[in-house]
Chain A
Amino acid sequence: MSAKPILSVEGLGKRFEVGGGLLRRPAQVHAVVDASFEVAERACLGLVGESGCGKSTLARCLLRLVEPDEGRIVFEGEDVRSLDGPALRRLRRRMQMVFQDPYASLNPRRTVRQTLAEPLVVHGLATGEAVDARVEAALAEVGLPPDSAPRFPHEFSGGQRQRIGIARALVLEPRFIVADEPVSALDVSVQAQVLKLLEALRERHGLSMLFVSHDLGVVRHVCDRVAVMYLGRVVEEAPVPDIFDRPLHPYTRMLRAASPVPDARARFSLPRVEGEIPSAMDPPGGCAFHPRCPSALARCAKERPALADLRGGHRVACFLHSPEAAP
């Protein structure tokens, strides 16, 4: 990686306990296991995978909305996991989040002005008229008219609400945005508006971003690099052209082939996908993907391949591509 990283993550892990009772031990779900990656200054890393792969948990761990169990998160030279109290609040000024559901992510009883002013007041960044000026500036920045300020979220469409959510993340002038499926709840014709807005804001403010999505098309468009997760682990990570045009991991290939393309030539190429996504509570041994893998070797059921750097920043966890990559 050429530019210096703004965020680097090493060996991050998060377990959840589910079920259990008075006499029954709760089951452990390894939501994120040994995740390591970097995000370069002004870059956008995509995090893709199917439901239950741990991508949302990982995103929330970065902001400590979910407390990770192990690993290191270094943001702008600061060890995020060791922060508490005022230091953690200062971190949250520099790292913000955009949520998936534009209906659930805004408090229905607060006006747009209240929603946008609150962070400024809490962090003591503006008082009195300066607050209104900054709220107005934030609205203009995301393309909403100034008369939006006194209105309530339910008066807006999904796309407009997502703009409000983005404005709220931006009022604190963060350096880094974690976007969790920011367009997947929107209509197709509105998605592009929001994607363009995010693009413009990234450019203007020099933002770096972690972009979580299940939609490979959107990720291809928005991101510079992509990490693919399967059952809590990053199985492949590479620059966008490599992931989409030269995927190495059999799971990335399956995901890529199954992603629909608006082109009728795809008509008869429905991929034959094997098997179901296993439960994260009871992941298969060895490489977690081996039961569905069309090219699984005997050793894939027994050993787990480590994430190995091949060339040009293309990392993959698969014995087919790095036979020596035993853990």
Chain B
Amino acid sequence: MSAPAAVLPARGWTRRFRANPTSWLGVALIAAVVLAALLASTIWPLDPLEQNVAERLMAPTAAHPLGTDTFGRDVLARLLHAARISLLIGAFSIALAMTIGSAIGIAAGYLGGWFDAAVTSLLDVLLSFPTLLLGLMVVAMLGPSMGNLVIAIAITELAPFARVARAPTITLKGRDFVEAGRALGFSDLRLVVVHIIPNLLSEVVVVASLWLATAIRTEASLSFIGLGVKPPTATWGGMIREGFENILDAPWLALAPSLAILVTVLGLNLLGDGLRDAIDPRARRD
């Protein structure tokens, strides 16, 4: 009896995913964050940029449930609008990293030989840098802007995607159905696009959900250092930095965005773990 191949998700993974309560918690948390970001103005109609010097550093009240910051801006409104920016930057950078990283990994795995050896060594170098340091170097080179931030974060996360796409490509390349495709006269491009990519996509998606959490953290860290999105646009990292200056007088300023990041990262990790366990139940035991 032949065991199912490692690279192909076992059947019934949607059922296993649904049967796992922690993945549901992840889904609920992420859904809440996304909804809050999308409906920011509806939920809380105050303008996140409107300054009101008279109401500086106010403690939470009914009018400002999370208080106000040093410019008298409403923290709840800023938190909700920051969610949009943080999620967008995270999503765009992950999409970029996933596309380019997987393409590199698939090319290396499929072509093999010296190209594979060279790519693998380069990836090892890239992986040896701490994520934050690498992001810092790239932003410092490109200059801080939202687009550059996306590029910087994407570069820090290329290597994991390349790795996760390369290994199954090598396995799939040796599978009989790919060989059968070659015997049938299919081009390499067709074999990769039609027969290899769909069979490794699920694994890449799992990695994406886990690394999206890191991307959001990296964005926050860069913004915290001041290399992120320029003020006055609200981002979670930027809000923590601004709140940090008044951490003793108005702890809610740093606490609220920190909790928002915590919830998002936790939700993404639960979701990613749930997906991984559902798609490859064997990974669980490792």
Q: A residues touching B (Cβ–Cβ < 8 Å)?
A: 60, 63, 65, 88-90, 92-93, 96-97, 99-101, 103-110, 118-119, 122-123, 154, 165, 168, 172, 185
Contact = CB atoms under 8 A, between A and B. Distances in A.
Contacts of B184: 92, 96, 118-119, 122, 168, 172
16 contacts: A65-B183, A88-B185, A90-B185, A92-B183, A92-B185, A93-B185, A97-B179, A99-B176, A99-B179, A101-B2, A105-B180, A106-B177, A107-B195, A107-B199, A110-B195, A122-B187
Contacts of B175: 104
Contacts of B11: 154
A197 to B, nearest CB: 18
Nearest to A86: B185
Contact of B183 (A97, A106, A110): A97
A106 B186 CA distance: 15
Contacts of B195: 107, 110
B176 A65 contact: no
A97 B183 CA distance: 7
B2 A108 contact: no
Contacts of B182: 65
Contact of B176 (A101, A119, A154): A101
Contact of B177 (A100, A107, A185): A107
| Among all A-B residue pairs, the 3 with the closest Cβ atoms | A105-B176, A92-B185, A89-B185
Interface of B: 2, 5, 8, 11, 175-177, 179-187, 190, 194-195, 198-199
Contacts of B180: 97, 99, 105, 165, 168
A96 B2 contact: no
Nearest to B180: A105
A63 B185 CA distance: 10
Nearest to B201: A109
Nearest to B183: A97
Contacts of A123: 185
Contacts of B185: 88-90, 92-93, 119, 122-123
Contact of A108 (B179, B190, B199): B199
Nearest to B8: A108
A170 to B, nearest CB: 11
Contacts of A60: 179
